[in-house]
Amino acid sequence: MTAHVLDAALHAARRARVLSALAPDGVMILPAAPELRVGRDLELRYQPDPDLYYLTGYTEPEAVAVLAPFRTDAPFTLFVRPRDPEREVWTGPRGGTDAALAVFGADEAYPIAELPERLPGIIAEAGTVYFRLGTGRDDVEALVRTSLIRAQRGRQREGRGPRTLVDPGAILDDMRIFKDAHEIELLREAARITMDAFREAAPRIRPGAGEWELEAALDAGFRRRGATGPAFPTIVAAGANATVLHYTDNAAPLEAGQLLLMDAGARYRMYCGDISRTFPISGAFAPAQRDVYDAVLAAHDAAIALVRPGNTVEQVHEAALRVALAALIELGVLRGTVDELLEKKEEYHPFLPHRTSHWLGLDVHDVGDYKTAGEPRRLEPGMVLTVEPGIYLPAAHEAVPTALRGTGIRIEDDVLVTPSGHEVLTAALPTAAADVEAMLRG
């Protein structure tokens, strides 16, 4: 099994909340994430499914968890890979059904091969099935579909069986969006590891170095400090590469006079850090670069100032957007007033193509709606979000001043909503231009 510290009581408490929230005749079916392969038999490092992990702590592939409150003697069932000494030589130890019962607290546990035999009977007893389509576990999805169809056909005569299919996120998303004290501490540690790795990697930024060298330095820094690795593919983007939002080739050499955007985060005990900083490769920002950098930092600070209970993510975004639009007007890239341009997304979108925030937790883009009942969701204590404004000046856009063409600047921090306002979990990593320059000197 993957080395994770298990808090069995914590996962049991979460399951109890779900069992209480389910319809009395509901069943929730959560499959493990699929194993990813390249070519015929090369397995990529396995990443567990966040929902399954949140409720069980289970990290092995192939598993399926079934939660059914109407099964009073066994509301929590795990189907898992059996022990297999021969396969374990190749891929490491397995817990099997014994661990599912003794370690992970399942009421019943069966080998995964028995799922086709046992799951249809459970579904036939349910009125509402909570299962997410399109997870990549085609084997489980096909079984659920077949079981639903068979059970629905027999409902008229039997007087029981499923009528409704519901996404598990209807229950789990609103649980996961609010981080408990345990989760907040894990997010703090993910943030700390990420910050330390950035500090360690920054002095390697110099003309002639490769983007790949910085990627390796960051990822090694995460692992050295106890993370399982990066929370997402590390972005190290020099020059015009920084105008590609999810650039991950990391294959270009660093050139004097360019800026380098690094967007990376550690995954610590399943929880994600996510930081962006933009550095001058030559050691100091040129005046025109500094002007844009300061504008992005002002947008970042204005947005963070609005992170507090009662405000919305939309307000946080608009605060950053207003500052960035004013800067683009000052540069001559856009024309008009800020208020006018707010209504003309098509005009500013090439330079401000993304929102300012996303939720952060077990997923780097964590679950949770940004609108409820058609209205922007209000922030509440326990939510964690990023604040990451950016300005991107494409090399081919004729409105961009020549000296700034191919410039991308993003500054990102991780922010916890507290009862009295907010806490920036990544505040210890500098953002001011002079301090960023100092990081390059070590």
Q: d(Cα 237, Cα 283) in Å, to the nearest integer?
A: 16
Known active-site residue 422: no
Q: Which of 412, 413, 414, 437 is catalytic?
A: 412
Choose the catalytic residue: 246, 255, 349, 369.
246
Q: What's the Cα-to-Cα distance from 2 to each of 5, 26, 58, 233, rounded to whole Å?
A: 10, 31, 9, 20
Catalytic-role residue among 60, 219, 388, 413: 388
Question: Quick check: 215 and 196 in contact, CB under 8 A?
Answer: no
Residue 354 φ/ψ, nearest 5 degrees: -130, 165
Marked catalytic residue, from 60, 183, 213, 274:
274
Q: Is the dihedral of CA 324, 330, 335, 340 positive or negative?
A: positive
Catalytic residue among 392, 413, 414, 422: 392
410 catalytic per annotation: yes
Reply yes or no on whether 308 is catalytic.
no
Options 358, 363, 413, 422, the catalytic residue: 358
Annotated active-site residue 73? The verdict is no
| C-alpha to C-alpha distance for 198 and 424, rounded to whole angstroms | 16
156: which residues sit within 8 A by CB, 6+ positions away? none
CB 80 within 8 A of CB 95: yes
Residue by residue, what is the 3-state secondary structure of 8-67? HHHHHHHHHHHHHHCCCCEEEEEECCCCCEECCCEECCCCCCHHHHHHHCCCCCCCEEEE
Angle ∠(100,102,105) on CA atoms, nearest 5: 65
> Which of 51, 410, 422, 437 is labelled catalytic?
410
Confirm if 377 and 336 have CB atoms less than 8 A apart: no
Please identify which of the residues 25, 189, 263, 366 carries the catalytic annotation. Answer: 263
* Active-site annotation holds for 354: yes
Q: Which of 260, 28, 220 is nearest to 127 (CA)?
A: 28
Q: Does the annotation mark 392 as catalytic? A: yes
Report which DSSP code applies to 335: -
Residue 209's alpha-carbon distances to 72, 134, 202, 240, in angstroms, are 62, 41, 12, 16
Residue among 199, 290, 354, 378 flagged as catalytic: 354
Say whether 263 is catalytic.
yes
Residues 6+ apart with CB under 8 A from 18: 28, 55, 67, 171, 172, 175
The one catalytic residue in 365, 369, 380, 435 is 365
Secondary-structure breakdown of the chain: helix, strand, coil percentages, each rounded to the nearest 5? 40, 20, 40
Strand 128-130 with 164-166, pairing: parallel
Residues annotated as catalytic (active site), given as ranges? 41, 246, 263, 274, 354, 358, 365, 388, 392, 410, 412
